[in-house]
Amino acid sequence: MKYSSIIFLVGLGILLTSCSKKKIHSKPNVILIYADDLGRGLLGTYGQEIIKTPNIDKLASEGISFKNAYGCNYCAPARASLLTGMHDVRPNQWKITKGGMYLNLDNGMTFQEIKDSIHKVAQPAKPNDVFLAEVAQKAGYKTAAFGKLEWGFSTTPERIKRHGWDEHFGFYDHNRCHGFYPPFLFENGEKITIEGNTRVDCGNTNNVETPEAYAERWDMTGKSFYSENIIMEKLLGYLDNYKKEEKPFFLFFPTQLPHGPISIPEVHADFKNDKRLTEFEKEYASMVKMLDTDVGRILKKLEAKNLLENTIVVFTSDNGHEIYTREEGRSYKDTNVLTNEKYDNIKTRFLSEFGKDIFDGNDGMSGLKRSNWEGGTRVPLFWYWKGKIKPGVVSEQRVANYDFLNTLAEITGLQELKEKDGVSYAKTLFGGKAKERPYTVYNSKIGPALVTKEGWKLRYHKKKNIFQLYFLPEDYKEMKELSAKYPEKVALLKAHLTKEAGGTL
């Protein structure tokens, strides 16, 4: 099948419905919008002043926001954790496939050869494994995913189907997601050619700003259609063709935005003449702005289809902030711009003022993506359901992305899956008090960390075999290390963390 314009054949394949009359379902539809590398400091609701994000802010102000929500340290484990309801500190929890396989499609390898290669190395799902979309299916939902691949760094239609998705449109390869002008995407296992996009690398560009990189980014040869626009057309088409008489839907939108390398079809008018920003920063801000605009398009479509009052919209991110606006003397992520010293991630660490991040994307916290500082894993999380979730509530409860599976189970009328690490916080959404997990754990490139429900945090620097203790309610930036003062607390939390890591850190 070929694609030659932004208008998809949205009536075919994913939109077949029964002609028979059915009783309108009472269960809510659910849409999960999963941003990529979106530090919460990039949003207006957290004080961002340069980038206006009114649509995402609406989800927070008219719904419930979680002050202490955790993702994972980077994208592949975050998605696996979300889909399985399991944390990423467990040893050998998942086999993360390598990316780049699909760059060889029809360029030395056939589709079948690529799939066979992935299936040979990927850890197959066990017969009794239950995934997020399967929970929705068991509750009587239609499931659909649009966007970035939902597992590992490369996947196959067979794996997507096994994970419970009735419909899927988007990427199968993480490396290809680093460009925004793909020559092909996939729909339910079928390759969809996008005429006008001819770059094998999907238009991937240099990650550090130079005059040469600027020229490369804005050379639009072979870059006709931007992937976010393509995927949004398909997603909105799904909503357009949905009938209330059908089963309720669970829709997953793992967008590429605002993950780098930086790429945008046009700088947004809000930033074109902003003298505070470099050209690179204007383009990056435009990516965040496009994400906000697309959230608004989804809300507008739900309203137009009279679905808004029976649809829960959830917005979150996979991990904390990442720096993509790197230029000489500005926006460094590993080195203090003021002192030219590399961070040791023990006594020194990334802070926006040291890295000259004009957006303060990590919202004043320490660290970035891939770290076990709070800035690497604390994410925005908003639940919005018009007329059902009380507006303007800010919850202090500590929750994690691996809690979403059991939360969805409770909302859709199923029993909690006790074998999962995650627990439901559904009662908190509706004004009650969900039972809190005693602690949350997550992994990182530095080492694992544990945060108790009260806010005590133990982080481990594996290479140096150093444990550090912080009390987050009184130390937002993690500047007051307390291990010498509370050795018994360190010993207790270390025992819990070691247990979650399978006995060995």
Is the pLDDT assigned to residue 4 strictly greater than 60?
no
Q: Which of 438, 460, 486 is the last residue of a domain?
A: 438
What's the number of domains the chain is made of?
2
**pLDDT confidence tier of residue 122, bands split at 50, 70 and 90:** confident
**pLDDT confidence tier of residue 1, bands split at 50, 70 and 90:** low
Q: What is the pLDDT of residues 394-453, one digit of tens each?
A: 999 999 999 999 999 999 999 999 999 999 999 999 999 999 999 999 999 999 999 999
**Burial track 356-372 (b if 16+ CB lie within 10 A, e otherwise):** bbbbbbbbebbbbbbbb
Peptide bond into 473 cis (omega under 30): no
Are residues 75 and 155 located together in one domain of the fold?
A: yes
Q: What is the pLDDT of residues 222-272, one digit of tens each?
A: 999 999 999 999 999 999 999 988 899 999 999 999 999 999 999 999 999
pLDDT at 97: 82
Q: What is the DSSP letter of 96?
A: -
Is the pLDDT assigned to residue 382 strictly greater than 50?
yes
Q: What is the pLDDT of residues 469-491, one digit of tens each?
A: 999 999 999 999 999 999 999 99
Tell me which of 95 and 225 has the higher pLDDT.
Answer: 225
pLDDT at 352: 97
Find out whether 414 and 134 touch, Cβ atoms under 8 Å.
Answer: no
Are residues 425 and 479 located together in one domain of the fold?
A: no
Query: How many whole angstroms separate alpha carbon 429 and alpha carbon 422?
Result: 16
Residue 73: alpha-carbon gap to chain centroid: 11
Q: Which of 414, 438, 462 is the last residue of a domain?
A: 438
pLDDT at 478: 98
User: Whose CA is closest to 131, among 86, 75, 74?
Assistant: 86
User: Whose CA is closest to 286, among 497, 294, 13?
Assistant: 294
- Mean pLDDT along residues 197-207: 94
Domain of 475, CATH number, reads: 3.30.1120.10
Is the pLDDT assigned to residue 121 strictly greater than 60?
yes
Is the pLDDT assigned to residue 25 strictly greater than 90?
no
**pLDDT confidence tier of residue 22, bands split at 50, 70 and 90:** very low
Q: CB under 8 Å to 331, separation ≥6 — which residues?
A: 280, 281, 323, 325, 355, 356, 357, 358
Are residues 403 and 460 located together in one domain of the fold?
A: no
- Mean pLDDT along residues 106-114: 93
Q: What is the pLDDT of residues 38-93, one digit of tens each?
A: 999 999 999 999 999 999 999 999 999 999 999 999 999 999 999 999 999 999 88
Tell me which of 302 and 121 has the higher pLDDT.
Answer: 302
pLDDT at 473: 98
Q: CB under 8 Å to 199, separation ≥6 — which residues?
A: 179, 181, 183, 222, 223
Are residues 499 and 364 located together in one domain of the fold?
A: no
Q: Which of 381, 403, 438 is the last residue of a domain?
A: 438
Expressed as residue numbers, the domain containing 411 is 25-438
**pLDDT confidence tier of residue 154, bands split at 50, 70 and 90:** very high
Residue 424 within any structural domain of the chain: yes
- When the pLDDT of each residue in the chain is averaged and rounded to a whole number, the result is 93
Find out whether 409 and 393 touch, Cβ atoms under 8 Å.
Answer: no
Query: What does the block give as tokens for 294?
Result: 């697309």
Q: What is the pLDDT of residues 338-365, one digit of tens each?
A: 899 999 999 999 999 999 999 999 999 9
Is the pLDDT assigned to residue 15 strictly greater than 80?
no
Domain of 189, CATH number, reads: 3.40.720.10
Are residues 215 and 300 located together in one domain of the fold?
A: yes
Find out whether 349 and 343 touch, Cβ atoms under 8 Å.
Answer: yes
Are residues 452 and 396 located together in one domain of the fold?
A: no
